[in-house]
Structure 1
Amino acid sequence: MRIGLLSDTHGDTLSAEKAIKAMGDIDLLLHAGDTYADAKALQDVFGIEVVAVKGNTDFYCNAASETTIIIEDKKIFLTHGHKYNVKFGIDRLYYRALETNSDIVVFGHSHVPTHVEENNMIFVNPGSISRPRGGSKPSYGLINISKKNIDIKICNL
């Protein structure tokens, strides 16, 4: 299964649309928050399934702040990351992922693309297509999951 990753779009749906077109054929889009409404608009435009969580700027949003999904026997934990202080490291996020027994963690909030493997657990932040930070460029992510392999890519827009 080919999964697109976005986070921290902050209302820039035009850049998000460019990113999704650049992703090619995807089976699913994960949006790690800020802005939840963008994720739902993208679902309508592209007619693809979108799983999204709210972020710290989604003030009046009733959506969940985290969720898990299972794809090809791999559990993916999706969260924005602000509740786990990800701007200062992934320790708290790592322990939450252990609690959820996750294989892959997709998060945002820092606007900095990240791909780290820790004790057989994969952490990926696609960065931001609208407001990159830390010297990064506008970016998105891709995950290809099969029964035998997980391939992660972070791509510049």
Structure 2
Amino acid sequence: MRIGIVSDTHRMENFMNKSIPYLKECDLIIHAGDNFSDSKYIHKMTNTDIIAVKGNCDFEDVEDELAFEVEGKTIFVCHGDNYGVNYGLMEIEEKAKYICADIVIFGHTHIPLCIERDGILYLNPGSMSLPRGGSSRRFVIMDIQDNRINLEEVII
């Protein structure tokens, strides 16, 4: 399964539009918050199923975290602000272990991160609109096949 992973799009359609050709090729898109309304725009432009959570800049009455299974992998998605990701991964690691997640997807920092700890993959795609920490505007495409995970960073 091919999954597009985006976060922190902040209503900047010009940058989202650059991602559309890539995201159209995905089976699923995950939006890790800020701005939830952008997930509706991306869905409209790609006609691809999308799972999205609320971020700290969102005011819609939607879930701020979700856990679900894809290709035998439990994926936990949140924005990250409620787990203090600006200060490290300790709180989100605790949650991931508690729910037996295989993959944790979050945003909030606008800084890309891909690290594996204790068999759990922690992934922040960065921001496609307002990158920080010297990173570029980007998102991630994740392929899950035959119990393997392959990641591709797409810089826009």
TM-score (norm. length: structure 2): 0.96
Q: Is the 8 A contact 1:4 1:28 kept in 2?
A: yes
Q: In structure 1, how many angstroms separate the alpha carbons of the residues matched to 2:120 and 2:17?
A: 29
Question: Which amino acid letter does the alignment assign opposite residue 15 of structure 2?
Answer: S
Question: Which amino acid letter does the alignment assign opposite residue 130 of structure 1?
Answer: S
Q: Is the 8 A contact 1:4 1:20 kept in 2?
A: no
> Deviation at 1:77?
0.3
Q: Which residue of 2 aligns with 1:103?
A: 102
Give ranges in structure 1 of 5+ residues lacking alignment: none
Matched pairs, number? 156
- 1:4-153 correspondence to structure 2 within 5 Å: 4-23=4-23, 25-58=25-58, 60-153=59-152
- Which secondary structure does the structure 2 equivalent of 1:26 belong to? coil
Q: Which residue of 2 aligns with 1:3?
A: 3
Q: In structure 2, how many angstroms separate the alpha carbons of the residues matched to 1:108 and 1:20?
A: 19
With 93-102 and 18-27 compared, the bigger mean Cα shift is at 18-27
Q: In structure 1, how many angstroms separate the alpha carbons of the residues matched to 2:4 and 2:35?
A: 16
Question: Which amino acid letter does the alignment assign opposite residue 99 of structure 1?
Answer: Y
Residue identity over aligned pairs, in percent, reads 36
Give ranges in structure 2 of 5+ residues lacking alignment: none
- Which secondary structure does the structure 2 equivalent of 1:136 belong to? coil
Q: In structure 2, how many angstroms separate the alpha carbons of the residues matched to 1:153 and 1:48?
A: 19
> Deviation at 1:23?
4.7
Q: In structure 1, how many angstroms separate the alpha carbons of the residues matched to 2:121 and 2:109?
A: 17
With 119-128 and 8-17 compared, the bigger mean Cα shift is at 8-17
Q: Is the 8 A contact 2:23 2:46 kept in 1?
A: no
TM-score (norm. length: structure 1): 0.95
Question: Which amino acid letter does the alignment assign opposite residue 34 of structure 1?
Answer: D
Q: In structure 1, how many angstroms separate the alpha carbons of the residues matched to 2:10 and 2:89?
A: 23
> Deviation at 1:24?
5.9
RMSD: 1.1
